[in-house]
Structure 1
């Protein structure tokens, strides 16, 4: 039907799908300049109006000679490279193509072809327009000896003068480097050279260069607010980030000036993705809304800056906070912020009720829920089995003195039902949530911050006969007042159900959760998912061609990660940013995560290895997944092992298609360069660690890819999308502690006895910081409408390999089966840790989700 004979040969018809840059480009409308919030709102509303009537105009503007393409042969060479065909130009507009997505436009194009050209394997494209456009895909039809050829592009194309070399796109075939058609070899190598750049100069918006740098852009030395540079040293090691190349600060030549963060252009989708509503919502929140709220609260135009009671906290969801008209008028027109704050045209800031109190308003206070959230909450991968008593420290005693726990066996045995500590340890019934060593080195500095007063905590729990955990004791430690080198000063708090002792126990639990909240956000979430994945994304783009099978395997799991990490450096983890304002370590937050990174082990990120390392499982060939869990009702582990096995089975089947032997792995030049750079540059501060896989066997490759995918998908989902459901009620997951537990004979002690709720609220996160925290974690807990979930791809033509497609379909089917199993477990009343006592089932590892805050869903990548 589409073969059209012409002079001297044949014409091949192509369909080009693209999206023109238009006024809805988020990069333009969310830049807050002198116009402030109102100017931004006007830009948004004006943009929507213009876009409605401008679709045909935008399409028409591409007609004529604005965009040209040239096919490149994969089978016929000219001078050592694939033959380049004649230039062709976009032809007629195809507005009614049924496969088009939102805001996509399609055009026809005709290429001259003859038998001496061979089969197309790539194409050049030139944009002669001033504005860039987003090239979605190109499809060639009725290609002689081939049929239909797909090019999945998903890339911004700027004016041709922006590039030193022509923009090239490759067919969706899959080739190892040694199997690449000879005509495409040079093109493949040249494209990777382009993506690597030369390591110099400041990156421009149109650049597609992936390079490495340290975290030297968090502080503002010239403004008197420096931060420790992270990365490039043994004292403060850190994963690498994408290099921007901005000017250095005047006071510190090793630090970069703050400003817009460079993101390789194809990592920043701009107006194409609804998830950018979420990403830029954080930016607008940080730069505009929060200062307004702070002004309102501290000018006392809103009620007191303190919560008066738990009912007062719940009023955030049940009635809201009345805001002055002038402030609300600057917030409510922003679409994402209006949805978050539920203003609905009234002068009220109201949040949605967090899941943890939707059924019961008080179950969060129980010891059962306190323990349950350690294995089924938002931070379920820190608790470990207690294997020695008393718990010891790994801190250097020459610097920190004796940090051994002061908990006694007698204190533990009060609530073990007559079971001795030694017996409880030998029968695997004692567990510990231990934040002592993570916080103690920073505690003196943290407690010198204006409002922080904190302990380093240890919590020991007992596994009851019914399989539920029971807290036995909390140890609260501070550095010795005579100096850190003199060891810790500790107090031990035991459970109590009434009287002043019950208030002290509740406060002790709050201090534990403040430790947990900070560790969760800085380590479990930011460091162990966001930060550690970025170097893999950089190296993959620098050394694995789009034709490479491992590129095709991993690329979906990097979607938006570099972008969201760049936004985090601007608004979340920067000096004075949201994390420093709302979490205990304050200005030492990211520096603390660097100290923890010293002990990061790539291979331990595999879920089975993590469970064994923490003593939560032992290897048992007869058990499911080859592991026997020592807490059988451990929702994160039970569900996670099923997801892990599905991922590893998929990776194993896929890898075996291309690497039949270990020799094939060792002989893959791109793969070896990729892994060498991951280790030596991406995670270069840990490059000498012996645990890195050598990448010499198929098992090395399967394990490494499985860990990357698990970390970017299921692990991130488990520690991210429950943030608001659990933490939206700040008394359940406070992020700050502002005073120590009062001592008898003090005014604070008398107030605590008289009004326990007031004492609790004066200890934890105050009102303004709560509003910041809730605003941010509600955004972070949401899914975008165009999210792509584990076992899915955004384009069915991501490869032409039918065996790979078949294996991927099997992967999706397996994940659907796992969803069914998880749902069945959540409906099993004998598995109490899944829902009791707050009646909140563990759904964070259900693969699929709708848009919004659903408390479920595993996206392919760290996209928020």
Structure 2
């Protein structure tokens, strides 16, 4: 007889304990063990939360190199079946080899589950018949569990799910996450001390009234926003380092529908738009995707959503200053171009309409589509097409954590027929789907890769662009990490081409995420190692860094409503010189619309206590030395970047913290 020493580690997460009987079978290249009931001196405590328990499985002879284990649990007589969350199983063979079996999933029934040894295997090198069979069975079951569904034609597909409890256990929120999220969602208005205002359909009568509401919950950044929101310098700053840093681009030729002339913006001569454009000092923000969108009706009142064009100039002291704003796309006599030299409220109202359009552009295109919806496509395709033993599954599964459930909740609570966004934003309802469809049509692969996106927008040398600076460094660090991992497993382009599971992953993403549109530039298959590394870098960056950049600061920039109105209820001025403070207050959203927006942005900005920062991997999916070392190098590089960002921020009037790796979550989890 030979003995195999088996260590079973139960996860430390809440409710992971089982009191059922647990059984194991070891399967090797030369045979398999009997199904063994795991009995320990610990008795009923062998599989409680955080337990590490030791067992011996005996076989008549060696069963060779271990390929997989089979686990099942059976309820005791008179005891109910419970759920168990084993983290991993380690087996030491009589030959002295230690085999690791990552599990990290809920076992909720009495079925037999197979788990592969941790050494990553591509499909073409998985030669053992039982290994291949378990691989095929795993994917067959996953394709049943993770099915594609169409939410609306023309936008990325999502996972078909009826309610959170119908989600597979392994992609649901943890107990901690569920409890905290539901508490924050249900108490948002209370926490902000706004509950009594949630049904108030009155207009604001003074800025002081808005201040009294806002002062209930503030951050350092939201305080700064309240103090500086009217200033042109801060208005310009937000296009670089605010919630939407991906719209602005260097302007080399004025759009034909934006007839700004030199005498309009350079009153005293001395310069020209042509000269300034040649110097690279002129920038454009064009909200053309909002053009013609049917705005919402809120509290029985028609709302207004503009499609502005904004021209900005870099000044000699490196400020980005707005110099002209046109609020509708088509030039007309009743669509004046506004300038800083106009009256105080004409100019301020023009900027308010831009900021309100930016809210819809940010929430629907930059935030919802380009991070949440795409991250879900990447995750569902991963779960449908790659088994646990695949190296890409091991690399990407931490970057899918909570994404599917948070998106389900967004569809139910934010953009459904009675969702907060649908009810209380100018672009809610019919406009929401229109903007999402237009946004997907504008997405290109290059625009999802920050080095290419920055270059294409001509922003390589714009000063004080911290989103770019931190984002490019993060991209490079992630790229080196991905190259280190995937370069270890894929030695040449032929291995990439012959990996049928990998090709199915990207094929599904092209079809269900980008609706088979070749114009996006998304690859339909991978032909080189470099191509694979670039795409996977984009996937990780999108779900971690890019999401953090456009999500974390929502309350910072939107808590003070005048800076980011979610809706406006008067049309823009058609002539100049008539706007007053009263006009501005009447244009702002009603009280209830304001507080619902504040509560939602507060919820979406809250970090969960089980937050996992970028580069931290609590689950051990890899076992080989090289990937483990690459992971350590990745973490060290992130630590250095974090320290550098903190040092820089000490000298900034407005610190940029959103891409500090310590503040970036591994996945789209909120």
Q: Look up the match of 1:525.
A: 367
> How far did 1:92 drift?
4.2
Q: Look up the match of 2:656.
A: 842
- Secondary structure, counterpart of 1:519 in structure 2: helix
Q: Look up the match of 1:242.
A: 159
> How far did 1:475 drift?
0.5
Is 2:59 the partner of 1:113? yes
Q: Distance in 1 between matches of 2:84 and 2:530?
A: 38
Specify which of 202, 211, 214 is matched with residue 147 of structure 2.
211
Q: Distance in 2 between matches of 1:373 and 1:493?
A: 19
Q: Distance in 1 between matches of 2:634 and 2:267?
A: 49
Is 2:444 the partner of 1:606? no
Specify which of 844, 847, 858 is matched with residue 664 of structure 2.
858
TM-score w.r.t. structure 1 length? 0.71
Q: Distance in 1 between matches of 2:362 and 2:541?
A: 18
Specify which of 324, 332, 336 is matched with residue 473 of structure 1.
324
Is 2:353 the partner of 1:511? yes
> Using a 3 Å threshold, how does the CA distance of structure 1 residues 770 and 299 change in structure 2: closer, same or farther?
closer
> How far did 1:380 drift?
1.2
Deviations 1:92-125 (A, max 9, x none): 448999xx99x54454444233433224332222
- Secondary structure, counterpart of 2:563 in structure 1: coil
> Using a 3 Å threshold, how does the CA distance of structure 1 residues 553 and 602 change in structure 2: closer, same or farther?
same
Q: Distance in 1 between matches of 2:311 and 2:132?
A: 60
1:332-411 alignment, distance < 5 Å = 350=216, 352-358=217-223, 361-389=226-254, 391-392=255-256, 404-411=257-264
Q: Distance in 2 between matches of 1:289 and 1:542?
A: 41
Specify which of 279, 300, 307 is matched with residue 181 of structure 2.
279
> Using a 3 Å threshold, how does the CA distance of structure 1 residues 642 and 689 change in structure 2: closer, same or farther?
closer
Compare relative contact order (CA 8 Å, sep 6+) and give the higher one, 1 or 2. Answer: 2
> How far did 1:456 drift?
1.6
Answer whether contact 1:20 1:133 (CA < 8 A) is retained: no
Q: Look up the match of 1:765.
A: 589
Q: Distance in 2 between matches of 1:572 and 1:468?
A: 36
Q: Distance in 2 between matches of 1:96 and 1:466?
A: 68
> How far did 1:820 drift?
2.2
> Using a 3 Å threshold, how does the CA distance of structure 1 residues 446 and 673 change in structure 2: closer, same or farther?
same
> How far did 1:87 drift?
3.0
Answer whether contact 2:293 2:434 (CA < 8 A) is retained: no
> How far did 1:373 drift?
0.9
> Using a 3 Å threshold, how does the CA distance of structure 1 residues 140 and 478 change in structure 2: closer, same or farther?
closer
Deviations 1:435-456 (A, max 9, x none): 1x21113157789983302322
> Using a 3 Å threshold, how does the CA distance of structure 1 residues 262 and 569 change in structure 2: closer, same or farther?
farther
Q: Look up the match of 1:427.
A: 279
Q: Distance in 2 between matches of 1:94 and 1:148?
A: 25
CA RMSD across the alignment: 3.1
Q: Distance in 2 between matches of 1:842 and 1:701?
A: 31
Answer whether contact 2:3 2:56 (CA < 8 A) is retained: no
Q: Distance in 2 between matches of 1:729 and 1:277?
A: 28
Deviations 1:155-192 (A, max 9, x none): 111222xx5xx322222221122222514222112211
Unaligned runs of 5+ in 2: none
Is 2:281 the partner of 1:413? no
> How far did 1:841 drift?
0.7
Q: Distance in 1 between matches of 2:410 and 2:218?
A: 26
> How far did 1:16 drift?
3.6
> How far did 1:781 drift?
1.1
Q: Look up the match of 1:619.
A: none
1:283-322 alignment, distance < 5 Å = 284=186, 296-297=196-197, 305-318=202-215
Answer whether contact 2:616 2:635 (CA < 8 A) is retained: yes
> How far did 1:674 drift?
1.7
Q: Distance in 2 between matches of 1:407 and 1:446?
A: 33
1:731-750 alignment, distance < 5 Å = 731-742=562-573, 749=578
Question: How many residue pairs get matched?
Answer: 663
Q: Look up the match of 1:189.
A: 136
> How far did 1:699 drift?
1.0
> How far did 1:676 drift?
1.9
> How far did 1:561 drift?
0.6
Answer whether contact 2:251 2:277 (CA < 8 A) is retained: yes
Answer whether contact 1:72 1:84 (CA < 8 A) is retained: yes
> How far did 1:144 drift?
2.3
TM-score w.r.t. structure 2 length? 0.91
Is 2:118 the partner of 1:172? yes
- Secondary structure, counterpart of 2:469 in structure 1: helix
> How far did 1:827 drift?
3.3
- Secondary structure, counterpart of 1:490 in structure 2: coil
Specify which of 608, 623, 628 is matched with residue 805 of structure 1.
628
> Using a 3 Å threshold, how does the CA distance of structure 1 residues 524 and 745 change in structure 2: closer, same or farther?
closer
Q: Distance in 2 between matches of 1:550 and 1:488?
A: 57
Q: Distance in 2 between matches of 1:444 and 1:791?
A: 41
Specify which of 99, 109, 120 is matched with residue 159 of structure 1.
109
> Using a 3 Å threshold, how does the CA distance of structure 1 residues 720 and 745 change in structure 2: closer, same or farther?
closer
Specify which of 299, 314, 319 is matched with residue 463 of structure 1.
314
Answer whether contact 1:85 1:117 (CA < 8 A) is retained: no
Answer whether contact 1:135 1:157 (CA < 8 A) is retained: yes
> Using a 3 Å threshold, how does the CA distance of structure 1 residues 315 and 190 change in structure 2: closer, same or farther?
same
Q: Distance in 2 between matches of 1:491 and 1:261?
A: 53
Answer whether contact 1:131 1:159 (CA < 8 A) is retained: yes
Q: Look up the match of 1:34.
A: none
Answer whether contact 2:123 2:499 (CA < 8 A) is retained: yes
Q: Distance in 1 between matches of 2:198 and 2:386?
A: 53
